[in-house]
A and B are shown apart, each in its own frame.
Chain A
Amino acid sequence: DTGVSQNPRHKITKRGQNVTFRCDPISEHNRLYWYRQTLGQGPEFLTYFQNEAQLEKSRLLSDRFSAERPKGSFSTLEIQRTEQGDSAMYLCASSLAGAGETQYFGPGTRLLVL
């Protein structure tokens, strides 16, 4: 399977714990995006990378959130000191930069903070 993969698929954690999610994009894609989706809403942009450079961060991305893409391939999203409001589906997408850019999504990581 050469699509976008995300791990883990589900994560249950207690408030105050740290969690880390991983995304492996489609191999030839140079852009990687993180989104958050809550019930009844569309995906909300969090941040994106072009190669290893983090080019944009949403104001939704508080200081407790950090994302990396150290070698321009896979990416990790870490949430420190989780809060119940962090419970959501975290989606990763990848694309080739350019006009008419189509993002392809992974299956998501569903986070539940108790």
Chain B
Amino acid sequence: DQQVKQNSPSLSVQEGRISILNCDYTNSMFDYFLWYKKYPAEGPTFLISISSIKDKNEDGRFTVFLNKSAKHLSLHIVPSQPGDSAVYFCAASDFNDMRFGAGTRLTVKP
């Protein structure tokens, strides 16, 4: 059962433009959401998170938006840089359980 879905397997953007990665979830019990970034041959690296009591969290170039009614979250990266090229996983958790999406491969072209 895929409780967390990332429907875009890949995304390509030009350097300096905005990257928007999307994620949908089905379990209304999830109350904490995270984005991880993964380079080849490495484990996922924590990027940014958001609690269900908020609808936006910003950290430098990265902003996560949460729409609880739509069960949707998105990660905005602006401006995008070539070093942002990686696979991005969204994750959703309740107290005991964390589920991951299948990932979106972001390519930022110089």
Contacts and interface: CB of A to CB of B under 8 A. Distances in A.
Interface of A: 4, 6, 33, 40-45, 55-56, 91, 93, 99-108, 110
Contacts of B6: 42
A91 B98 contact: no
Interface of B: 4, 6, 9, 31-32, 34, 36, 41-46, 49, 51, 89, 91, 93, 95-103
Residue in B42, B44, B45, B89 whose Cβ sees the most chain A Cβ within 10 Å: B44
A100 B4 contact: no
A105 B45 CA distance: 7
Residue in A33, A42, A45, A100 whose Cβ sees the most chain B Cβ within 10 Å: A42
B89 A43 contact: yes
A33 B96 CA distance: 11
A105 B43 contact: yes
A42 B89 CA distance: 7
Contact of B46 (A6, A56, A104, A110): A104
Given A40-B102, A42-B101, A101 B93 contact: yes
Contacts of B4: 42
Given A42-B100, A42-B101, A102 B46 contact: yes
Residue in B6, B34, B95, B98 whose Cβ sees the most chain A Cβ within 10 Å: B98
A42 B37 CA distance: 11
B76 to A, nearest CB: 20
A106 B42 CA distance: 8
Contacts of A108: 41-43
B9 to A, nearest CB: 8
Contacts of B32: 99-101
Given A42-B89, A104-B46, 10 more contacts: A33-B98, A40-B9, A42-B6, A42-B102, A43-B100, A45-B98, A45-B99, A55-B96, A99-B95, A105-B44
Contacts of A4: 43
Q: Which 10 A-B pairs give the minimum distances between C-beta atoms?
A: A42-B100, A105-B43, A105-B44, A107-B43, A108-B43, A43-B100, A42-B89, A42-B102, A106-B43, A42-B101
